[in-house]
Amino acid sequence: MLARLDNEVFFKKAFTDKTVFKAFVKDVVGIEVEPDKIETEKAFEPKIGSVNFKYDIFAEDTKKRIVIEIQRVEYDSNFDRFLHYHLQAITEQQRSSSNYSIEKTVYTIVVVTAPYRVHKKTQELYKDEVLISNLNPKNLKGIERKMFNHELIFLNPNYKDDSTPINYRDWLDLIYESIHNPENPQINLNNEGIRKAAEIADVENITPEERGLSKIAVMRQEVLALTANDTKRDVAINMIKADFEDAVIAKMTDLDVSYIKWLRDNLDMFEN
């Protein structure tokens, strides 16, 4: 039986395994990678701008930088949000005003496990298993000039398409089956990466600590989903009023504990 891979704890457990990571990247992006290390909750120091980005899974070798994100709840801002993630991973490499060179190609893979909503800007409902964006310009004849190799890839297993190539199909099926058919998943175990991921994500290999962390992850997503129209500050204020501990509020909102403590000391500033 598979643990649900729409839970960030189980997803990170499986996809930070080096065999799984390399196979996933090879199938989805089409490149071989030899990462020095695979990190979770990666943040750049010093940070860029005013947003404190943290990448779910981050790895790089001498020429490539790979970011993998898991999104269980679909927000209208998903596409914009992960465009920011992708661009920051590119621009972070340029730390000097005298040198604009970008040494590493960035590939950002976003796994969205919820159905898409109608997009607020376009008023369209996208139903694509795979969406790929790059930064290459086109001339007036529509011919693409391959100046940059950076790619932003969205995967969503909720829209099965018979024409999807097997290299994507195997991973989309793994994620979908772990959610909807975990007891008897129909997945391609002939794919070494899929086989290893399924082994790692088998419920028999989940520790009690990981089960506890997975419940916190689910609670956090549910809180954010219920308060999608509120700011994180508003959510934190309401949780402070409901006597939640600072550490719990930080987990639920992604806000720094120091900021939450400041909010607690200055609640009167936000009273109507």
pLDDT of residue 13: 97
Average pLDDT score, the chain: 88
Contact 75, 97 (CB under 8 A): no
User: Which strand (E) or helix (H) includes residue 268?
Assistant: none
In a domain, 38, yes or no: yes
pLDDT of residue 170: 98
Q: What is the pTM of this model?
A: 0.81
Using CA atoms, how far apart are residues 195 and 134, in angstroms rounded to an integer?
30
pLDDT of residue 87: 92
Contact 7, 13 (CB under 8 A): no
In this structure, what are the phi and psi dihedrals at residue 167, rounded to the nearest 5 degrees?
-65, -35
In a domain, 37, yes or no: yes
3-state secondary structure of 64: strand
Low-confidence ranges of the chain (pLDDT < 70): 49-52, 73-77, 95-99, 222-230, 271-272
In a domain, 106, yes or no: yes
Residue 174, both tokens: 């793994």
pLDDT of residue 218: 79
In a domain, 153, yes or no: yes
Range of the domain at 46: 8-206
In a domain, 68, yes or no: yes
Kindly write down the DSSP assignment for every residue of 99-153, as one continuous string. Answer: B----SEEEEEEEE-SPPPPPTTT------SEEEEE---B-TT-PBP-----EEE
Can you say whether the dihedral through the CA atoms of 34, 39, 41, 47 is positive or negative? negative
Can you say whether the dihedral through the CA atoms of 153, 33, 7, 221 is positive or negative? negative
In a domain, 93, yes or no: yes
Quick: pLDDT tens for 162-213.
Answer: 999 999 999 999 999 999 999 999 999 999 999 999 999 999 999 999 999 8
Using CA atoms, how far apart are residues 12 and 231, in angstroms rounded to an integer?
27
pLDDT of residue 253: 80
Our count of domains for the chain comes to 1
In a domain, 97, yes or no: yes
Using CA atoms, how far apart are residues 254 and 226, in angstroms rounded to an integer?
15
pLDDT of residue 219: 75
pLDDT of residue 99: 65
Contacts of 171 (CB under 8 A, 6+ apart): 24, 27, 28, 155, 193, 194
The residue type of 89 is A
The residue type of 51 is V
In a domain, 249, yes or no: no
